[in-house]
Chains A and B, each alone.
Chain A
Amino acid sequence: MSSTTRDRRRARRYALERELAPHVDPAWTEAVLLELRIQGVAGELIGEVLGEVDSHCAESGEAAREAFGDPIAYARELGLPPSPAQRPAATVRGVLPTLAQLAGMFLTLWSVPGLASAGAVEITVGQALAAVVAATALLLFAGRPEPVLRGIVRRPVLGTLAFGAASAALVVPLLLLQRTLVVLPATVTVAAGLALLVLGVVVELARARRPDDADPVVAPLQDEGAVARRRRVDGRVRLLGVMLVPAWTVVVGLLLWWLAG
């Protein structure tokens, strides 16, 4: 990789950090920002913390690590309160539409071969168990994300491997428990799957319309125009995210239909 590509990538990676604290080493800023986010501190407060560090370093000419020490220790020392927008209940509520979409997607895709052959869909014990375990794990994670997030931030490679191993472990009961739980006509399961998908998308779109949920990290005294611009960009990104699962379902569904036909 040429040095300019690396520089460009580094510039993109630290864009937010440089914007919020131009006089501070962006890696230091990123560490503080991540730690405060993991603690669930409100975006506005995070912006204030970074603004104050930036102001101090700009005037004293000191480096952040020299004046403030270890970034994670500093973030902890401040003892900032978690924001209600980031409370477990709010996060779990936020995750539910995605869960519904994912469940809908799997149900729909599983039903496509059955639909193509005008047959029935067999739901095994393994599938039902895997669904329950996956949903529970996701809800638990949404409720208490800090330990997992800290683990992944501190040890990205190990964290990702562990996550992959846990996902693989989910597949084992899926494959072993082959006993049929229930047999449903494919039209029923497809209808249920699509209903879940649509429900999830509708709820998420309704939420995306309310920008207050976003809680972006903004610099203090930032003018209304910049905040509005940041909200618009975040909104666009969120809208794209909402359409991901339905789009994926359509693409894979069509593929499966074509393969089965």
Chain B
Amino acid sequence: MVIDDAEWPSEWLRGVLAVCVLRVLADGPTYGYAIAATLADRGLGPVKGGTLYPLLKRLEDAGWVVTEWRAGDGGPGRKYYAMTEAGRDELRRSAALWDAFATVTSTIVADGASRPSRTEEELV
């Protein structure tokens, strides 16, 4: 089965975007479009600006990132986001929580794609 990243359910993406963005920022300060491009490259699919920037603002309000405007070379300036110590702690906490959550759900859903299911026809 080919996994097409444009098919991730939006409710799943909404739940996981914050921890993914924090993880990208753990690799070093970067700006909005670069974050979106990285996430898209790694298979999460396109992240709309209308979703990403309000999220980055919430991360900043929570004290997990700080921002800095840097002049672009020839182009418009860019707002760089950098993770704080508190952000690092939050990433560690969320990532660990996500690992546990993913394990639990994977166990519940295990072989659901291949196993034959008992459908409502059997109720009759």
A interface residues with partner B (beta carbon < 8 Å)? 22-23, 48, 51-60, 62, 67-69, 73-74, 77-80, 219-221
Contact = CB atoms under 8 A, between A and B. Distances in A.
Contact of B57 (A54, A69, A79, A220): A79
Interface residues of B, number: 20
Contacts of B12: none
Given A60-B33, A77-B54, A221-B71, A53 B79 contact: no
Interface string B32-58: 110010000000000011100110011
Contact of A55 (B57, B58, B61, B79): B79
Contacts of A77: 50, 54
Specify which of B50, B57, B58, B71 lies most central, judged by the most chain A CB atoms within 10 Å of its CB: B50
A23 B48 contact: no
A78 B54 contact: yes
Interface in B61-90: 61, 69, 71-72, 75-79
B48 A69 contact: yes
B78 to A, nearest CB: 5
A63 to B, nearest CB: 11
Contacts of B69: 48, 51, 220-221
A136 B32 CA distance: 47
A78 B56 CA distance: 9
A107 B57 CA distance: 51
A55 B48 contact: no
Contacts of B54: 74, 77-79
Contacts of B58: 79
A81 to B, nearest CB: 9
A53 B77 contact: no
B61 to A, nearest CB: 8
6 contacts: A53-B53, A56-B49, A62-B49, A67-B49, A78-B54, A80-B57
Given A52-B79, A67-B48, A220-B77, 13 more contacts: A48-B69, A48-B79, A53-B49, A54-B76, A55-B75, A55-B76, A55-B78, A56-B33, A59-B33, A68-B50, A74-B54, A78-B53, A79-B61
Contacts of A68: 48-50, 53
Contacts of B50: 67-69, 73-74, 77
B48 A56 contact: no
B75 A58 contact: yes
The 9 closest A-B pairs by CB, nearest first: A67-B49, A68-B50, A69-B50, A221-B77, A77-B54, A220-B69, A59-B33, A55-B76, A68-B49
Specify which of B31, B49, B76 lies most central, judged by the most chain A CB atoms within 10 Å of its CB: B76
Contacts of B57: 78-80
Contacts of A54: 76
Specify which of A23, A51, A55, A220 lies most central, judged by the most chain B CB atoms within 10 Å of its CB: A55
Interface string B14-44: 0000000000000000011100100000000
Contact of B79 (A58, A60, A69, A220): A220
Contacts of A221: 69, 71, 77
Contacts of A57: 49
Contacts of A51: 69, 76-77, 79
A60 to B, nearest CB: 6
A43 B72 CA distance: 22
A53 B57 CA distance: 13
